[in-house]
Structures are given as structure tokens and as C-alpha cells.
Amino acid sequence: MGKLQELVEFVAKSLVDHPEKVEVREIEGEKTTVIELKVAPEDLGKVIGRQGRTARAIRTLLAAVARKQNKRAVLEILEP
């Protein structure tokens, strides 16, 4: 498991009511790494946040860590 995947998993599990249902996949591309996040349906709102603020904060953190590793990362929050 890569650092980016671990970061997203840690943050997501800290936010939700059902941490056992958090799934994170890392898909390495040529230039970009895609991190897919899947949570329980009732936790989707907690991960996205009001007007997407929480999701934006997670994406900002992810981008900062990725930039430090000379990578580009994108977070996709999948609907269950």
C-alpha cells in the first residue's frame, strides 16, 4: 500500500461511522495516480461534507503529499 493510499484510508476511517466498510484502491497511471475511495452509503455525506468542503480538504492534502513525491494524484469518491 502506497503512502497516498494510506493517507486517504486513514482520513476516511477517521471521519466515518463504519470504518470497516472503507475501501481504498490506488491505480497507477503514467503521469497520474488515481485513488478510489468507497464508503458505506450512510457515510458518503461525511466524506463529501457540506458543499464538498471535506472532499476538497482531502484532495488538497492528497495533492500536497503527491507533489512532495513528484507525482500527481486524483481522488475519486465512488458511490456504493
Ranking 3-7, 28-32, 53-57, 71-75 by mean pLDDT, the lowest is 28-32
The whole domain housing 13 covers: 3-78
User: Looking at residue 16, what is its pLDDT?
Assistant: 98
Contact indicator for 43, 21 with CB cutoff of 8 Å: yes
Reported confidence tier of residue 15, pLDDT bands at 50, 70, 90: very high
CATH number at residue 41: 3.30.300.20
Q: How many domains does the chain have?
A: 1
pLDDT tens figures, 18-70: 999 999 999 999 889 999 999 999 999 999 999 999 999 999 999 999 999 99
pTM here is 0.92
